[in-house]
Amino acid sequence: MKKAVLAFFIISYLILLFTSCGGDNPAAPPKDDPVIDSLSKNHGEIGAIIDIFGNNFGSSANNGYVEFTGARTSTNDILTWTNTKLSVKVPTNAKTGKLFVNTFGKNSNQLDFTVDSFAKSEPYIISINPASFSLGDRIEINGRNFGANQMASYVEFARGARPVTSDYKSWEDNKIILNVPTSIDASGKLFVSIRVESNFKKSNEIDYRIIGFPYINDVNPDSVPQGNIMTINGSGFGASKGSGYVYFGGFQGQEYPQWSDAMIKVKVPLNLSSDTIEVRRSDMKRSNKFYVKFLPPELPPEIDNINPNPATAGQNITIQGRYFGPSQSNSIVKINNDTCKEFSSWTSTQIIVRVPVTASSGPLIIKVNNLESEPFNITVQQPQTTDPRIDYIDVQSAVEGQSIGINGVNFGDTRNSNFVEFNGLNADPSDYISWSDTRIVVRVPVGTTSGLVKVHVDSKTSNGVNLNIQGQNYIVPTVSIPAGTFKMGSSTIEEDGPQHDVTISYSFYMSKYEITQLEWKTVMDNSDPSFYKNDKNPVEQVDWYRVIEFCNRLSKIVGLDTCYTINGTNVTCNWNANGFRLPTEAEWEYACRAGTTDNYAGNIDDLGWTSSNSGNTVHNAGTKQPNAFGLYDMHGNILEWCWDWYDSEYYKTRPNPDIDPRGPSAEFPERVVRGGSFSNSQIECSSPKRDGRNPVDLANNRGFRIVRKK
């Protein structure tokens, strides 16, 4: 009997062992739902390759798929699948609508995707044969619309390498045969550029691999904090590092715990602005570029200062420094081992927290992700029960004339002869908006300088809390646009007409440049939806509603009245508010023309990036010449959202002359976009050119600029 029982337990253990440790055991699902952050492009033909960036996709495609409005990807459609990036082909039977990622039965958020019909004239690469080759090998590029002969058309490999004339062996409309140039020094992507009259049309890009060159297969982890070690797996890196290195888009890796032909371990540099890496071998042969999601560094928090210090028990203090993390989460603040519990705000550089009533003088320490700051000494005073005390001011920085709230206790129920002092300057009686025992709302007096704010009640003076006084910095540089009358619309193109007189009866400010990614990140909590990431580039891939949110946020930050009331997708505008808003279509064209009457406000090549000179990519804002009003990139670079609903017949029914038109009052499917983009022809970037887009649509050639009243 005992032997039978023992045998049962042994057999059970072996079954458990094999089922739990076997090679076919499925990967554990991610803890959170999949989330799509962005797409490499939001349109494409059947078979086109798109990259999907996000989080929680899982480590392989075995437990997931991408769905394009009812059409799911097959095994052959999925090229790469990592936790943060997917590369897939648009599947057969896909339709215009929504796409989402499903992994372990969980659906991600949905993004718009347009399925393009096969372009009759656009070049398109279907495949390379072979896709891996050596320098000098002969390859075939298969596709369509390459042209019957080469003429001035060409193939371009990574880093701008192009074959010489003798490398091309044949060129047909659907096939190009060539010898791989020996000048290529990197794996990556190639494309075909077709000469059509005086312009070039660029095909899609497709991956290739040079045999014997370094090649990145994957990285681990694929989301890594700056300053941490990451592992790069692949081949051809070289048996030892030598003079090779990992390139992080402007930064070289400096610390390498391991370097072998198939694996590199490297410490990620700080302050990265790129999301791609490549390996550069000692002989300067380069790998393909590989996308990695770099996270903020995991560094111990650093405290620069505490204000006020000395502080009163029960009072709010402001701690400034860095590496605090985007939110409190499980982080803590201790004052002489007394844990703080009441937080007003927590950002990566600033914490506002109430000093516990039981706290005493000593070291203040911040602990984030088990990393502790160096102690910062703070003096804690016990409050006098009847003395006025400021706990905190609503803002840490303000401009002259801005209303601020001062919060605390023992201010008195009415102002009477009591007053607020701003660094030695007393507020004028007309500056006070409200006064109660616990809160005062007062305008910052003209002439105020940065320093301590104090409340004087009877013969008693409160503690001082620092307020930084800024110049009128509205974050976004603007130029003044005068009132005036102009000829709006086209006299030759019916869809952009009719040409008619319009008066803009007021002067206004307009942003000097298209809103940049740095400006967007400053206002929108450091987010950046753009495909072409560069702080100096215009922000793109922003829908109309997010742009409206940006305008309201910016207005609040700089102390102006918000223009927009937002209720879901219902947005109304207060035209009398002094905050930022989108230009009307009429304001936009008036500002674009800047007193001119032709299609362009000058020489179009000098003023704008269009398909004829852009290289089919966005450029830094403000690198061309401005128009006569001092505005940059009104022609090309990116399309710009306007306020108006798009109605092709609207101006045909308006009075002539017209005064301050603001677009249709009834809703239409699209909002107006103006100015054309880097991918549009010159005429599509002209002053009168009208167009519309669905307000929830995203594109990597669409952004905006803003205006505000004087």
pLDDT at 274 over 60: yes
For the cut 60, the answer to whether the pLDDT of residue 1 exceeds it is no
CB 324 within 8 A of CB 349: yes
DSSP 406-457: EEEE---SS-TT-EEEETTEEPPGGGEEEE-SSEEEEEPPTT--SEEEEEEE
Say yes or no: 364 and 394 in one domain. no
Rounded CA-CA distance 582/690 in Å is: 16
- Over its C-alpha atoms, the chain yields an Rg (Å, rounded) of 31
Q: Counting beta carbons within 10 angstroms of the beta carbon of residue 170, is it exposed (0 to 12), middle (13 to 18) or buried (19 or more)?
A: exposed
Q: Cβ distance 595 to 618 under 8 Å?
A: no
**Does the residue 639 lie in any domain?**
yes
Q: Which of 310, 342, 377 is the last residue before a domain boundary?
A: 377
Question: With the C-alpha atoms ordered 74, 77, 79, 84, is the resulting torsion angle positive or negative?
Answer: negative
The verdict on residue 61 lying in a domain is yes
Within 8 A by CB and 6+ apart from 672, the residues are 585, 641, 642, 643, 644, 645, 646, 663, 690, 691, 692
Contact of 169 with 137, CB cutoff 8 Å: no
Phi and psi at 652, nearest 5°, equal: -75, -15
Res 119: pLDDT: 59
- pLDDT one-digit tens code per residue, 519-550: 999 888 888 999 999 999 999 999 999 999 99
Distance separating alpha carbons of residues 179 and 133, to the nearest angstrom: 10
632 and 670 part of one domain: yes
Q: Which of 150, 179, 210 is the last residue of a domain?
A: 210
Q: Are 595 and 628 in contact (CB under 8 A)?
A: yes
- Residue 126: C-alpha distances to residues 113, 142, 203, 378, 536 (Å): 20, 6, 10, 67, 34
Judge whether residue 7 has pLDDT over 50. Answer: no
For 619-648, write each residue's pLDDT tens digit.
999 999 999 999 999 999 999 999 999 999
Interatomic CA distance for residues 226 and 210, integer angstroms: 30
Please state, in angstroms and rounded to a whole number, the distance separating the CA atoms of residues 245 and 393.
50
| One domain, residues 535 and 658 | yes
- Model pLDDT for residues 689-705, shown as the tens digit of each residue: 999 999 999 999 999 99
Cβ–Cβ contacts within 10 Å for residue 133, how many?
17
What percent of the chain is predicted at pLDDT more than 90?
Answer: 58
Examine the domain organization and report whether 396 and 538 are in the same domain. no
Q: Which residue has the higher pLDDT, 597 or 15?
A: 597
pLDDT band at 30; cut points 50, 70, 90: low
Q: Residue 131 domain-assigned?
A: yes
Q: Cα separation of 472 and 61, whole Å?
A: 53
State how far the Cα of 709 lies from the Cα of 504, in Å rounded to an integer.
Answer: 12
Contact yes or no for 144/123 (Cβ under 8 A): yes
Domain count, the chain: 6
Whether residue 412 sits in one domain with residue 287: no
| Three-state DSSP state, 209 | strand
Cα 383 versus chain centre, distance: 46
Question: Which domain CATH number covers 690?
Answer: 3.90.1580.10
pLDDT digits (tens, 9 = 90+) for 383-392: 877 889 998 8
The rounded mean pLDDT for the chain is 89
Does residue 32 register a pLDDT over 80? Answer: no
Residue 199 has a pLDDT of 80
More confident residue, 621 or 558: 621
Residue-by-residue DSSP string for 94-136: --SEEEEEEETTEE---EEEEEPPPPSSS-EEEEEESSEE-TT
pLDDT in the model for residue 4: 44
Q: Which of 334-343, 459-468, 586-595, 693-702 has the lowest mean pLDDT?
A: 459-468
Which residue in 338, 454, 289, 468 sits closest to 388, CA to CA?
Answer: 454
Where are the extended beta strands (E) located within 505-622? 508-511, 564-567, 570-573, 580-581
DSSP for residue 529: -
Res 21: pLDDT = 38
**Band (24; pLDDT cuts 50, 70, 90):** very low
Task: Estimate the share of the chain in helix, then strand, then coil, as percent rounded to the nearest 5.
Answer: 10, 40, 50
Rounded distance, CA 157 to CA 186, Å? Answer: 8
Does pLDDT of 58 surpass 90?
no
Q: What is the pLDDT of residue 19?
A: 38
Give the separation between CA 28 and CA 58, rounded to whole angstroms.
Answer: 8
pLDDT at 447 over 80: no
**What is the reported pLDDT for 549?**
95
CB–CB of 592/634 below 8 Å?
yes
**Residue 181 sits in the same domain as residue 240:** no
Q: Residue 423 sits in which domain range?
A: 389-469
Listed in sequence order, the residues at least 6 apart from 547 whose beta carbon sits closer than 8 Å to its beta carbon are 582, 641, 704
For residues 46 and 131, state if they share a domain.
no
525 and 671 in one domain? Answer: yes
Report if residue 702 sits inside a domain: yes
> Is the domain of 367 the same as that of 394?
no
Cβ count within 10 A of residue 368: 21
CA 538 – CA 702 distance, rounded (Å): 9
Looking at the structure, tell me whether residues 192 and 56 fall in a common domain.
no
- State the pLDDT at residue 45: 81
* pLDDT at residue 15 greater than cutoff 70: no
Q: What are the tens digits of pLDDT across the range 71-102?
A: 899 888 888 888 888 889 898 888 888 999 99
Q: Is residue 20 part of a domain?
A: no
Angle at 621 between CA 618 and CA 625, to 5 degrees: 110
CB 673 within 8 A of CB 479: no
Query: How far is residue 597's CA from residue 625's CA, in Å, rounded to a whole number?
Result: 18
Q: Which residues neighbour 298 within 8 Å (Cβ) at sequence distance 6 or greater?
A: 225, 227, 228, 369, 371
pLDDT category, 9, cuts 50, 70, 90? very low
Select from 571, 335, 339, 315 the least CA-distant residue to 464. 315
| 25: in domain | no
Has residue 2 got a pLDDT over 70?
A: no
Q: Higher model confidence: residue 272 or residue 624?
A: 624
Query: Is the model more confident about 272 or about 575?
Result: 575
Q: How far is CA 410 from the centre of its chain?
A: 45
AA identity, residue 598 = D
Phi, psi of 63 (to 5 degrees): -115, 25
pLDDT confidence tier of residue 8, bands split at 50, 70 and 90: very low
Where helices occur in 180-296 by DSSP H, the ranges are: none
CA distance 95 to 259: 46
Report the DSSP beta bridge partners of residue 87.
51, 80
Confidence of residue 31 (pLDDT cuts 50, 70, 90): low
Report the first-to-last Cα separation within the chain, whole angstroms. 96
Q: Give the residue with greater pLDDT, 227 vs 406.
A: 406
Q: Would residue 333 count as lying in a domain? A: yes
One domain, residues 588 and 554? yes
What confidence category does residue 29 fall into, taking pLDDT thresholds of 50, 70 and 90?
A: low
CB 272 within 8 A of CB 249: yes
Mean pLDDT over 680-692 rounds to 94
Question: What 3-state DSSP class applies to 11?
Answer: helix
- Domain end, chosen from 412, 437, 469, is at 469
Asked if residue 5 belongs to a domain, the reply is no
Where residue 265 sits, what CATH number does that domain have? Answer: 2.60.40.10
Tens of pLDDT along 153-203? Answer: 999 998 889 999 999 999 999 999 999 999 898 999 999 999 877 788 888
Verify that 542 and 586 share a domain, yes or no. yes
pLDDT, residue 472, reads 66
